[in-house]
């Protein structure tokens, strides 16, 4: 297992002497860059040192002294990454230069930092709140901002034991509900139009045809819509059927994972990671346990590593099957391919249920291994699926769909995004590989035991919708290859390092654990101060970041193509909104 | 499928005529028609939506209960299965959709989040239970409820429909067919129009309390 | 030939359609409402009609399946209940959404805690079915239930009386776990008895 190393030959302090220093805190990596030199250093990193993929931009509130903006950058040729930070004194107004001129993929992430921390970004194209609504009071992830149901800074709560008389949380608040308002607030007199800034941002699109100014139609797609991606809304400006402008609106499923994550202990966060990408709880668990195990310095035993790989690859297969089924649903083939996909998924979920106890919210990983071993007969079931049934069914699926003329005419030739733009917009996962960039975290920076398996990184060249569909089938085949090897090689032995315990000691430090989730690169940035609960818990969600380029992908296409493009990016609202 | 008891009790029908003759009441007939063709609205918010779709898929076929038609439009559906966490940002849309559904309409709170806030209850953007705004008929706990649990909950809903009577249902009484719930507004926090006066009063009270010492901020260095 | 892809796809659907009849014929009489039929429809050889007709046919749940937890009591001879829970509070501390409330009381005579909960609440409308309470209970006193038919017409907050279920029920739903924990308890009691003998 490789750790996040400082790249050896790279001494950032040479780039801007005096403004870049190594991070002195124990168990912290990376560099602290002064904000005046941020753009210069970033441009040098991207152009001269090859760090073309900006993986994550996030904020941390080191109450009461400072706030930080943390950047993680990687090279698409692979290898360990680079983390650098900008520190600010913690007093309003706080401003940092926006990094979107260098890496446009940071756009939504910087909006999120503004929304949740209150740090402004100078030069940002459209700095509005993204997860909360315009008009919301406060910046929630600040340490001195308390949510209405606040009881204590860290769980476990004293009100539950030993004097645990049942009391509903509503009764303990002023407003008898999960609400807080500014002092002397008068709801009858206040006027709110949160949508004004959204439609204002869209209003700039008009066309002039032969001297006639033409207005366009603004159409809201979602949040309630027939496609099943979840509560996602896109405000689209249409010229006839062609999309002229698009603004995604999210936050309809913002469930405050990160704030709750700061109140939870490290172990209590594990079931919450299930609910991020709720299709692939086995993968979501892995990223988090990777980050915390890095801080703790524990290594899972062999059998646990194999179990993790088996579960993650099974999860990838069922995710891609569902994706193809739902894409076909959106295209109009209601509901046949989806039903066939659901049938295989049910058999895989039976395995998850037998091994972990639940079909979807598996809660299977623990720090240092997995929670339960496979019961008798489950390995046989996995073998049966992986060696006999699934390869046959994938072939059948391909026979059903791949050459279908309607599918081909709808998908082939509709461009999604090309390779260079995809890297600039921080897109990862199958969408990036369909555009011709062979970046897969399992090869770029192998985690677990992926370096032992023989498999190919699925790659397609054209980057259109059809390639995005084909690459999912390719990836299912590669996952089956990995599974066949893993099932043969899995040894016996313990499934967790050390004794299972609920009070884990996590030393102070920061860690960024990232994995190749079926939807893209899923990363967890965890900062610990040695206490039972994390100081900062951030999820680098591939769905959220892949959507950054949605406007670029859709402008110029027809509205019907928008549905297909959104389907193929593979978003899940649980991790998009967190 | 649970056999609807179409026959009114107390009337004995000879065995060989049982499949051809039924002596029933208007209530039973009416309810039998309604409970056997409830059309759910495709209203998945979060993870529970996936189990709802799985319940609709081939293994736990909901079409056997007459619920095969899942309409995304509220105008054409009878049942709103609130599947997933209800957030404050989404709530005005949920209430608006509920208002747009024609009578008779039912609401099933599927999963812990819709029933009572679930594991995200303490979140600042989460509404602790959809029954704070719209009336819920059946609560199905679980996180997520398995498709079999959802089906069990829907059977409970069918039993509830069986117990209704034409004499008492709201849509046949004099007066408004449906009760329109005022749509909440997103301000500094979610504002329920039915509680405006109360919010104003409580906000004034907190202001009066705060004119003393300011609240000490939380946080460890 | 244009249309070849569509015809290929239609042949797949036709094959599956024919399979529904073929499989019914091959498994005549055994396919529906029988456990072996249900097992066949959940196996790698499943083909044809995939539906498991709840509520007449219920899919067997694996042992590890977790839904809302319940408290275990042993039968205490004279018809009374020996509740295993000692109100140590570990489940309440480890529960991620904090949906467990335990009331522990002190014995008025000795001042020490009574090893039984005075009251115990679980809010099933908050419970996320993660299983941590059952995983970290040192006394095997709280176990994840298999019963998923708990839909109701009102909110579900369970108090101790609603949560208590006998150890025989536990043995029925989780035989392997029950056996393993019984062995551990016997071993602990034997070790305690051996220590007491060595001391005397």
C143 to chain B, any CB pair closer than 8 A? The answer is: no
Sign of CA dihedral A62, A65, A67, A72: negative
Task: Find chain B residues with C-beta within 8 A of A129's C-beta.
Answer: none
Structural contact between residues A317 and A390, judged by C-beta atoms closer than 8 angstroms: yes
Share of chain B above pLDDT 90, in %: 37
Structural contact between residues A33 and A70, judged by C-beta atoms closer than 8 angstroms: no
Task: Assign A128 to helix, strand or coil.
Answer: coil
- Radius of gyration of chain A from Cα atoms? 24
Closest partner CB to A361 (pick from B49, B85, B143): B143
Closest partner CB to B46 (pick from A180, A188, A253): A253
pLDDT at residue B221 greater than cutoff 90:
no
Task: Assign C112 to helix, strand or coil.
Answer: coil
Q: Which chains touch B (3+ CB pairs under 8 A)? A: A, C
Q: Closest-CA residue in chain B for A65? A: B221
- Nearby residues of A517 by Cβ (< 8 Å), 6 or more positions away: A277, A280, A283, A284, A287, A429, A542
pLDDT digits (tens, 9 = 90+) for A304-320: 999 999 999 999 999 99
Task: Assign A494 to helix, strand or coil.
Answer: coil
CA–CA distance, A186 with B202 (Å, rounded to integer): 10
Q: Closest-CA residue in chain A for B42? A: A226
**Exposure letters C157-190 (e unless 16+ CB within 10 A, then b):** bbebeebbbebebbeebbeebbeebeeeeeeeee
pLDDT at residue B152 greater than cutoff 90:
yes
User: Are C44 and A157 inside 8 Å of each other by CB?
Assistant: no
DSSP A252-285: TT---HHHHHHHS-TTTHHHHHHTTSTT-HHHHH
pLDDT at residue B220 greater than cutoff 60:
no
Task: Find chain C residues with C-beta within 8 A of A363's C-beta.
Answer: 130-132
Local confidence band at B1 (pLDDT 50, 70, 90 cut-offs): very low
Mutate to test the interface with B, among A66, A143, A275, A325 (most CBs of B within 10 A): A275
Q: How much is the pLDDT for A8?
A: 46
CA–CA distance, B45 with A358 (Å, rounded to integer): 20
Q: What is the pTM of this model?
A: 0.91
User: Are A143 and B205 inside 8 Å of each other by CB?
Assistant: no
Task: Find chain B residues with C-beta within 8 A of C128's C-beta.
Answer: 112, 118-119, 143
User: Are C149 and B152 inside 8 Å of each other by CB?
Assistant: yes
Residues linked to residue A522 through DSSP beta bridges, in sequence order: A515
Task: Find chain B residues with C-beta within 8 A of A256's C-beta.
Answer: 120, 122-126
Q: How much is the pLDDT for A190?
A: 76
Q: How much is the pLDDT for A4?
A: 45
Higher pLDDT, B21 or A343: A343
Q: How much is the pLDDT for B2?
A: 41
Q: How much is the pLDDT for A5?
A: 45
pLDDT digits (tens, 9 = 90+) for B36-55: 999 998 788 999 999 999 99
pLDDT at residue B213 greater than cutoff 70:
no
A82 burial via Cβ count (<10 Å: 0-12, 13-18, 19+) = buried
User: Are C151 and B156 inside 8 Å of each other by CB?
Assistant: yes
Give the single-character DSSP code of A492: P
Q: Which chains touch A (3+ CB pairs under 8 A)? A: B, C
Task: Find chain C residues with C-beta within 8 A of B153's C-beta.
Answer: 151
Task: Find chain A residues with C-beta within 8 A of C119's C-beta.
Answer: 164-166
**Closest Cα of chain A to B160: distance in Å?**
28
Interval C177-198 mean pLDDT = 88
Local confidence band at B214 (pLDDT 50, 70, 90 cut-offs): low
Q: Closest-CA residue in chain C for A501? A: C136
pLDDT at residue A3 greater than cutoff 50:
no
Pick the most confident of A25-34, A97-106, C102-111. A97-106
Q: How much is the pLDDT for A1?
A: 30
Task: Find chain C residues with C-beta within 8 A of B116's C-beta.
Answer: 123, 125-126, 155-156
B31 to chain C, any CB pair closer than 8 A? The answer is: no
Q: How much is the pLDDT for B212?
A: 60
Closest partner CB to A260 (pick from B97, B120, B218): B120
User: Are C153 and B156 inside 8 Å of each other by CB?
Assistant: yes
Give the angle subtended at the CA of B97 by the CAs of B195 and B39, to the nearest 5°.
Answer: 135
CA–CA distance, C157 with A490 (Å, rounded to integer): 44
Task: Find chain A residues with C-beta within 8 A of C61's C-beta.
Answer: 353
C198 to chain A, any CB pair closer than 8 A? The answer is: no
pLDDT digits (tens, 9 = 90+) for C67-112: 999 999 988 778 788 888 988 999 999 999 999 999 988 888 888 8
User: Are C125 and B2 inside 8 Å of each other by CB?
Assistant: no
pLDDT at residue A346 greater than cutoff 90:
yes
Local confidence band at A169 (pLDDT 50, 70, 90 cut-offs): confident
ipTM tops 0.90:
yes
Q: How much is the pLDDT for B179?
A: 78
Give a three-class secondary structure readout of chain B.
Answer: CCCCCCCCCCCCCCHHHCCCCCCCCHHHHHHHHHHCCCCEECCECCHHHHHHHHHHCCCCCHHHHCCCCCECCHHHCCEEEEECCCECCCHHHHHHHHHHCCCCCEEEEEHHHHHHCHHHCCCCCECCCHHHCCCCCEEECCCCCCHHHHHHHHHHHHHHHHCCCCCCCHHHCCCCCCCCCCCCEECCCEECHHHHHHHHHHHHHHHHHHCCCCCCCCCCC
- Nearby residues of A383 by Cβ (< 8 Å), 6 or more positions away: A487
Task: Assign A422 to helix, strand or coil.
Answer: helix
pLDDT at residue B102 greater than cutoff 50:
yes
């Amino acid at each position: 297992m490789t750790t996040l190393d400082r790249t050896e030959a790279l001494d950032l302090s040479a780039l801007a002497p005096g403004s870049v220093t190594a991070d002195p805190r124990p168990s912290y990596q990376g560099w602290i860059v002064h904000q005046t030199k941020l753009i210069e250093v970033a441009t040098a990193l991207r152009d001269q040192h090859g760090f073309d993929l900006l993986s994550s931009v996030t904020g941390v509130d080191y109450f009461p002294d400072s706030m930080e903006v943390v950047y993680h950058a990687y090279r698409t040729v692979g290898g360990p990454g680079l983390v650098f930070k900008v520190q600010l004194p913690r007093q309003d107004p706080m401003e940092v230069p926006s990094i979107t001129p260098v890496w446009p993929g940071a756009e939504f992430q910087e909006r999120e930092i503004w929304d949740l921390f209150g740090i402004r970004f100078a030069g940002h194209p459209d700095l509005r709140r993204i997860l909360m609504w315009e008009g919301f009071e406060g910046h929630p992830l600040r340490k001195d901002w308390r949510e209405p149901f606040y009881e204590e800074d860290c769980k476990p709560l004293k009100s539950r034991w030993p004097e645990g008389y049942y009391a509903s949380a509503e009764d303990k608040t002023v407003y008898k509900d999960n609400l807080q308002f500014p002092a002397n607030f008068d709801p009858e007199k206040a006027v709110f139009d949160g949508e004004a800034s959204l439609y204002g941002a869209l209003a700039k699109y008009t066309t002039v045809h032969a001297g006639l100014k033409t207005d366009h139609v603004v159409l809201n797609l979602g949040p309630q819509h027939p496609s099943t991606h979840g509560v996602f809304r896109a405000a689209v400006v249409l010229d006839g059927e062609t999309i002229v402008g698009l603004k995604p609106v999210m936050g309809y499923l913002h469930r405050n994972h990160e704030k709750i994550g700061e109140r939870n202990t490290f172990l209590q966060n594990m079931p919450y990671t299930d609910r991020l990408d709720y299709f692939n709880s086995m993968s979501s668990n892995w990223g988090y346990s990777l980050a915390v195990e890095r801080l703790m310095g524990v290594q899972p035993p062999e059998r646990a590593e194999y179990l993790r790989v088996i579960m993650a690859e099974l999860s990838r297969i069922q995710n891609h099957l569902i994706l193809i089924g739902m894409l076909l649903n959106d295209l109009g083939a209601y509901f046949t391919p989806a039903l066939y996909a659901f049938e295989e998924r049910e058999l895989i979920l039976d395995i998850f249920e037998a091994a972990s106890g639940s079909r979807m919210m598996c809660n299977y990983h623990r720090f240092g291994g997995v929670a339960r071993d496979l019961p008798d007969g489950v390995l046989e079931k996995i073998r049966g699926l992986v060696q006999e049934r699934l390869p046959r069914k994938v072939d059948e699926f391909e026979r059903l769909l791949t050459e279908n003329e309607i599918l081909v005419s709808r998908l082939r030739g509709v461009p999604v995004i090309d390779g260079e733009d995809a890297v600039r917009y921080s897109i990862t996962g199958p969408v990036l590989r369909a555009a011709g960039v062979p970046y897969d975290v399992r090869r770029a920076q192998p985690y677990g035991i992926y370096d032992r398996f023989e498999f190919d990184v699925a790659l397609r060249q054209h980057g259109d919708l059809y390639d995005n569909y084909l690459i999912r089938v390719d990836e299912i085949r590669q996952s089956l290859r990995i599974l066949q090897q893993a099932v043969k090689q899995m040894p016996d032995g313990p499934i967790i390092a050390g004794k299972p315990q609920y009070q884990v000691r996590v030393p102070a430090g920061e860690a960024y654990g990232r994995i190749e989730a079926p939807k893209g690169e899923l990363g967890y940035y965890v900062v610990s101060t040695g206490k039972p609960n994390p100081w900062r818990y951030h999820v680098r969600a591939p769905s959220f970041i892949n959507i950054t380029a949605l406007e670029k992908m859709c402008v110029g296409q027809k509205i019907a193509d928008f549905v297909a493009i959104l389907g193929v990016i593979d978003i899940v609202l649980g991790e998009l909104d967190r | 499928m649970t056999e609807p008891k179409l026959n009114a009790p107390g009337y004995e029908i000879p065995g060989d005529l049982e499949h051809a003759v039924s002596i029933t009441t208007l209530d039973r007939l009416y309810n039998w028609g309604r409970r056997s063709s409830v059309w759910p609205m495709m209203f998945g918010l979060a993870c529970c939506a996936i189990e709802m779709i799985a319940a609709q898929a081939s293994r736990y076929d909901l079409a056997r209960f007459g619920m095969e038609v899942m309409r995304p439009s509220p105008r054409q559906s009878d049942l709103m299965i609130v599947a997933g966490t209800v957030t404050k940002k989404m709530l005005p849309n949920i209430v608006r959709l509920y208002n747009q559904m024609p009578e008779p309409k039912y609401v099933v709170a599927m999963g812990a989040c819709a029933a009572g806030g679930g594991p995200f209850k303490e979140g600042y953007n989460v509404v602790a239970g959809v029954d704070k705004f719209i009336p819920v008929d059946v609560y199905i706990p679980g996180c997520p409820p398995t498709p079999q649990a959802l089906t069990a909950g829907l059977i409970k809903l069918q039993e509830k429909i069986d117990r209704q009577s034409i004499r008492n249902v709201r849509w046949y009484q004099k007066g408004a067919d449906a009760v329109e719930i005022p749509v909440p507004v997103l301000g500094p926090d979610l504002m329920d129009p039915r509680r405006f006066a109360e919010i104003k009063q409580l906000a004034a009270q907190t202001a009066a309390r705060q004119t003393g010492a300011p609240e000490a901020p939380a946080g460890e260095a | 030939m244009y249309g070849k892809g569509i015809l290929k796809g239609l042949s797949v659907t036709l094959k599956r359609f024919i399979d529904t009849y073929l499989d019914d014929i091959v498994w005549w009489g055994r396919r529906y409402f029988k456990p072996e039929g249900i097992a066949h429809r959940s196996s790698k050889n499943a083909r044809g009609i995939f539906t498991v007709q709840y509520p007449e046919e219920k899919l067997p749940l694996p042992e590890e399946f977790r839904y809302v937890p319940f408290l275990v009591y042993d039968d205490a001879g004279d018809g009374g209940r020996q509740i295993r829970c000692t109100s140590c509070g570990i489940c309440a501390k480890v529960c991620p959404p904090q949906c467990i409330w335990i009331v522990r009381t002190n014995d008025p005579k000795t001042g020490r805690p009574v090893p039984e909960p005075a009251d115990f609440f679980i809010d099933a409308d908050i419970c996320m079915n993660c299983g941590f309470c059952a995983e970290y209970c040192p006394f095997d006193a709280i176990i994840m239930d298999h019963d998923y038919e708990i839909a109701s017409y009102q909110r579900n907050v369970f108090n101790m009386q609603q949560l208590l279920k006998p150890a025989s029920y536990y043995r029925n739903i989780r035989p392997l776990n029950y056996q393993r924990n019984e062995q551990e308890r016997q071993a602990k009691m034997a070790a305690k008895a051996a220590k007491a003998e060595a001391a005397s």
